[in-house]
Structure 1
Amino acid sequence: MDDFRLKVFIAAARTLSFTRAAEQLYISQPAVSKHVGELESRYKVQLFTRRGSHLELTDAGRTMLEAAGRLLDDYRRLEYEMSLCADQTGGELRLGASTTIAQYLLPPILAHFTARFPGVRVSMSSGNSAEVEQALGEHAVDLGLVESLSRRQGLHYTLFRPDELVLVARPGGKYARRETVTPEELPRIPLVLRESGSGTLEVIAAALAARGIRLSQFDVTMRLGSTEGIKAFVRNSDAMAIVSVISVVDELRSGALRIVDIEGLTLSRDFVFVHAEAEPARLARRFIDFARADF
């Protein structure tokens, strides 16, 4: 069985749509049906069932999906091992990164990595930390980069680099002349926050809980799923936001935003690599080592 047939099945199983699977893989819908039918014939099982206009996985389909994820991981590992035998670094590396890392840290590293290792096919998906860890557990990505404090059982974490969260406001707004605020003042300040599942939100909640302050006490003006959206909101309102300092470098330089210190409170965290095995596969390890050195 070749790995492309498995890729077709996995795409169909995850989207529950032969049409969307065909679009993702740049093949025709009949080709998707053909590959799935060949798998069903080979194993003498039905992988999908149709309920009205919707596809659902059968029990056999769910078993196939779990096994196919493991097999594709083995195929990618084999491809990399063979490239080492040929004294080349090649293969496919699927990265999943939380929003801040995907937007502000990874792009230059990926540019340098692909220039150094042109034989490696790299793809990256992004979401919040919880979504990235879920994708790793489902074998949808080979290596994750997240920013959350929590650690999911069954996954392994390797330090990438430290990060700091800062409180920002627009210079011409209500808090233009404030240099500092106390933690106790924060619940009275209109804030824009990230969505549930965000590593940034988890760090904020943990640090404030240690001071006896709960997020439920806050005056939350808006919850947004991206840092860029949060920054744009703050630039056009009197609300403030707590974001990674690496995400506001340009705004601080241009004067579009300013930092307001929180007295006696440092919001620090680590960006980490997350992988399914204690020792990452060699291609994932190559990327980890490269990214740490490149940074």
Structure 2
Amino acid sequence: MEQLLLVFITVVEKENFTRAADELHMTQPAVSQHIQQLEQTIGTRLLDRSNKFVRLNKAGEIVYHHAKEILGIYTRMQCLVDDLMNHAIGNLSIGASYTYGEYILPHVIAYMNERYPLIKPTITIANTKEIEELVAGHQLDIGIIEGGITHKDLYFEAFAEDSMFIVVSANHRFINEKDLQFSRLMEETWIAREEGSGTREAIEKLFSEFQLRPEKIMEFGSTQIIKEAVEAGLGISLLSQWAVRKELALGTLQILQLPELPFLRQFSFITQKTPFKTKASEIFIEVLRKNKKISNIMNDITLP
């Protein structure tokens, strides 16, 4: 059954029998035979076929969704059995929300690679909500997020604190203003991430704490684009210290000095609620827990 599901998933994702056969190093007739066998087992057709495309029908959508979960569980089961040999070896699928994934996780992986070179991580970067869904669907071993979770059947643990600052362009009119009040910032255009992002959640919490809300909010789906927009003078934003450290060093962004800041939030990891974890997962979690101060892994950075 495992092989049938693997072939089915590959055909769906490649949208073509020939491309799936190339990916799996199989012949096209063999791929077709596997799909027919799976459809016979399930008891219905799963794919709509034409000369140009292969698409899921309604039954196929159900099977595809659960097949991804089943293969994820099977892979972890096999890894757990292999771990009985007590070797720190094998694949580790990590998901991370954008701030941690783009600016911190590469340093953590480099740290891991020096000490455990036989662990092979694969990285998925998405917003907090999407990472939560992937962990809940057994498609990731561990997720690192910046906000809270909605799936109560997941294990959730905060492991590091993040400081967030309001950043502006290098020549912004508020840079040298003394006794600046947060209410004045409601006059500005705020540039924020999309709904479901941990950074967007932090901005919404900040507005809620002050019971204020700006008249204009612009949404972008990338922290890098937000930084570029702020540098260009399009607006202001609340961003993690780790996301803006290079721009602060270069002087292209500035931090506004307000008594209410920095805004503090937690980086947390999420996993399935299970007593069984692969050796690779256990080691990665231990690295996160022991390095609560991110500067233990990254170079020390002095912020204004």
Q: Is the 8 A contact 1:179 1:260 kept in 2?
A: no
- Say how many residue pairs are matched: 289
SS at match of 1:230: helix
Q: Is the 8 A contact 1:183 1:263 kept in 2?
A: no
Q: Is the 8 A contact 1:165 1:267 kept in 2?
A: yes
Change (3 A) 1:78 1:279: closer
| Residue 76 of structure 1: aligned partner | 75
SS at match of 2:260: coil
| Residue 233 of structure 1: aligned partner | 229
Amino acid at match of 1:56: L
The 5 Å alignment of 1:137-148 reads: 137-148=136-147
Amino acid at match of 1:110: I
| Residue 290 of structure 1: aligned partner | 287
Distance in structure 2 (CA, Å) of the matches to 1:275 and 1:21:
33
Question: What is the CA-CA distance between 1:202 and the residue it aligns to?
Answer: 0.8
Aligned-pair identity (%) = 25
Equivalent position to 1:253, from 249, 255, 258: 249
Change (3 A) 1:41 1:120: farther
Distance in structure 1 (CA, Å) of the matches to 2:111 and 2:195:
33
Consecutive aligned runs of 4 or more in structure 1 exceeding 6 Å deviation: none
| Residue 301 of structure 2: aligned partner | none
Distance in structure 1 (CA, Å) of the matches to 2:22 and 2:155:
29
Query: Which digits, 9 at most, give the CA deviation of each residue in 1:165-211, with x for residues without a partner?
Result: 10011222333323563232222112211112111111111232132
Q: Is the 8 A contact 1:234 1:241 kept in 2?
A: yes
SS at match of 1:258: strand
The 5 Å alignment of 1:168-247 reads: 168-178=167-177, 181-214=180-213, 217-220=214-217, 222-237=218-233, 239-247=235-243
Question: What is the CA-CA distance between 1:284 and the residue it aligns to?
Answer: 2.2
Question: What is the CA-CA distance between 1:212 and the residue it aligns to?
Answer: 1.5
Q: Is the 8 A contact 1:204 1:267 kept in 2?
A: no
Q: Is the 8 A contact 2:15 2:53 kept in 1?
A: no
The 5 Å alignment of 1:18-29 reads: 18=16, 22=20, 25=23
Q: Structure 1 residues 31-40 or 273-282, which shifts more?
A: 31-40
Q: Could you tell me the TM-score, scaled by structure 1's length?
A: 0.83
SS at match of 1:284: helix
- Alignment gaps of 5+ in structure 1: none
Distance in structure 2 (CA, Å) of the matches to 1:143 and 1:226:
22
- Alignment gaps of 5+ in structure 2: 292-296, 298-304
Cα RMSD (Å) of the superposition?
A: 3.1
Q: Could you tell me the TM-score, scaled by structure 2's length?
A: 0.81
Question: What is the CA-CA distance between 1:276 and the residue it aligns to?
Answer: 2.4
Q: Is the 8 A contact 1:193 1:223 kept in 2?
A: yes
Q: Is the 8 A contact 2:158 2:267 kept in 1?
A: yes
Q: Structure 1 residues 193-202 or 109-118, which shifts more?
A: 109-118
